């Protein structure tokens, strides 16, 4: 799931203070689960902005709304007329949602209220942890299910660096050394021998280094095209 974190209030305020009519627009999927940008957080943020405006003596209208997902047009199209009546849309969706909405609206600014943090899991309430880098070239089957791309601070592919220390990373004692975890896990799985195979230099072009990525399922796209005739 995409994990996001609301931007510091002061930063948001600097973004929006020049506008007269602002819509704080929440997204009720990933960022809602990470308590950053769902309808509830949009309502809270709108309230705080209104108060800030009052304190600064600014005449500013701040409303809030939320939809299921910002990253698919059908959800926001019915609201487009309303959305367009604002000077600024402050989206609390992830970066995907902000981009997508901004592309669609075009002539009204769409600003981000949330920092999109990472792809993560939720081991317990209020605790989010990054487990995948979205690199587009998964090797978890070779590393005991532990991703060295994001869980190793240096994204090393062939074992730990010299900074590994009693299972911890030299970057911080709070971070587990991913390669220590990989070795322990693979011992348990009985696949430790696999580690003797040296991984060749990695092709990073499937990651964010090769330009914007897209994924196309033509057979699904065709169905919609057909319907439209």
Partner 1 sequence: MADVAEETAETLRSTPHSIIEKPHETPAAWEPNVLAFACHYCAFAAADLAGVMRLSYSPSVKIIRLPCTGKLDHIHVLRAFEQGVDGIFVAG
Partner 2 sequence: MSLLANSTKRGSVLIVGGGIGGMQAALDLAESGFLVHLVQRDPSLGGTMVMLDKTFPTGDCAMCMISPKMVEAGRHLNIKIHTLAQVAAVEGEEGDFTVRIKMAPRYVDPDKCTGCGDCEAKCPKKVPSEFEQQLGPRKAVFSLFPQAVPNTRAIDSKNCLCLTDPQKKRCRLCEKACKANAINYEDQGKEFDVHVGAIILSPGLDRYDARVRPELGLGRWPNVVSSIQFERILSASGPYKGVVQRPSDQKHPVKVAWIQCVGSRDNRNANPWCSSVCCMYATKQSIIAKEHDKHIEPTIFYMEMRTFGKDFDKYVERAKRDYGVRYQRAMVSAVREEPGTGNLVMRYAAEDGTLVNETFDMVVLSVGLQPHADALDFAKTFGIETTDYRFPRTTHFNPAKTTRQGVFVTGTYQGPKDIPDTVMQGSGVAGSVMALLSEARGTETTKKELPPERDVTGEAPRIGVFVCHCGTNISSTVEIDQVVEAVKKESGVAYVTNTIYACAQDNQDMIKQTIKDQKLNRVVIASCTPRTHEKLFQETIQEAGLNKYLFDLADIREQCSWCHKGQNEAATKKAIKIVKMAVAKSRLQEPLKSETVGVTPSCLVIGGGIAGMTSALAVADQGFPVYIVEKDAELGGLARNVYRVLDGSDVQEFLLSRIAAVHSHPNITVHTGTEVKNTDGFVGNFKTILTNGSEITHGAIILATGGVEYEPTEYLYKQSQQVITQRELEKKLFDGNLAPGPEESYVMIQCVGSREEPSQYCSRICCQDAIKNAIAIKERNPKAAVIILYRDLRTYGLREDFYKKARDLGVFFVRYDVDRKPVVEQAGGKVLVTTWDYMLDRELQFDADWLVLSTGLRPHPSTDAVGAMYKVTRNPDGYYLEAHVKLRPVDFPSEGLFVAGLGHAPKNLDETIAQSLAAAGRAGVILSHEKLAVSGIIAKHKRELCMSCLSCLRVCPFGSPYIAEDGKISHNEVKCMGCGICAGICPAKAFQVNNFRDDQILAMIDAAVESESGVIN
Which residues of the shown chain bind partner 2 in the complex (CB under 8 A)?
Answer: 28-29, 32-33, 35, 38-41, 122, 124-125
- C-alpha distance across the termini of the chain, in Å: 35
Interaction of residue 33 with partner 1, rule CB under 8 A: no
Give the C-alpha separation, 140 to 6, whole Å. Answer: 31
Interacting partner of 108 out of partner 2, partner 1, none (Cβ under 5 to 8 A depending on kind): none
Distance of CA 58 to the CA centre of its chain: 33
Assign 3-state DSSP to the chain and report helix, strand, coil percentages, each to 5: 40, 20, 40
Q: Which is nearer to partner 2, 41 or 144 (CB)?
A: 41
Phi, psi of 91 (to 5 degrees): -90, 130
**Interface of this chain with partner 1, residues 44 to 73, rule: CB under 8 A:** 44, 47-48, 50-51, 54-55
Interacting partner of 48 out of partner 2, partner 1, none (Cβ under 5 to 8 A depending on kind): partner 1
CB of 123 to partner 2, least distance (A): 10
Interacting partner of 223 out of partner 1, partner 2, none (Cβ under 5 to 8 A depending on kind): none
Interacting partner of 193 out of partner 2, partner 1, none (Cβ under 5 to 8 A depending on kind): none
DSSP letter assigned to residue 79: G
Is residue 157 a contact partner of residue 163, using CB atoms and an 8 Å limit? no
Count other C-beta atoms under 10 Å from residue 113's C-beta: 28
Q: Which is nearer to partner 2, 17 or 35 (CB)?
A: 35
| Residue ranges in contact with partner 1 by CB under 8 A | 10, 40, 43-44, 47-48, 50-51, 54-55
């Amino acid at each position: 799931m995409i994990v996001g974190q609301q931007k510091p209030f002061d930063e948001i305020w600097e973004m929006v203070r020049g506008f007269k009519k602002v819509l704080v627009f929440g997204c009720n999927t990933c960022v809602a689960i990470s308590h950053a940008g769902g309808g509830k957080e949009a309502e809270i943020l709108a309230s705080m902005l209104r108060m800030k405006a009052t304190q600064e003596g600014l005449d500013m209208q701040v409303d809030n709304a939320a939809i299921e997902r910002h990253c698919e047009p059908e959800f926001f199209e019915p609201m487009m007329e309303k959305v367009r009546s604002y000077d600024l849309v402050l989206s609390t969706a992830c970066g995907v949602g902000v981009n997508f909405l901004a592309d669609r609206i075009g002539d009204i600014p769409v600003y981000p209220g949330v920092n999109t943090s990472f792809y993560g899991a939720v081991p317990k309430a209020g605790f989010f942890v990054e487990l995948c880098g979205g690199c587009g070239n998964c090797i978890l089957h070779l590393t005991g299910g532990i991703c060295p791309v994001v869980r190793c601070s240096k994204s090393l592919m062939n074992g730990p660096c010299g900074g590994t220390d009693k299972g911890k990373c030299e970057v911080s004692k709070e971070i587990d050394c991913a390669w220590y975890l990989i070795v322990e896990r693979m011992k348990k799985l009985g696949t430790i021998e696999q580690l003797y195979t040296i991984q060749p230099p990695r092709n990073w072009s499937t990651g964010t280094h090769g330009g914007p990525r897209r994924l196309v399922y033509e057979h699904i796209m065709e169905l919609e095209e057909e319907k439209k005739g």
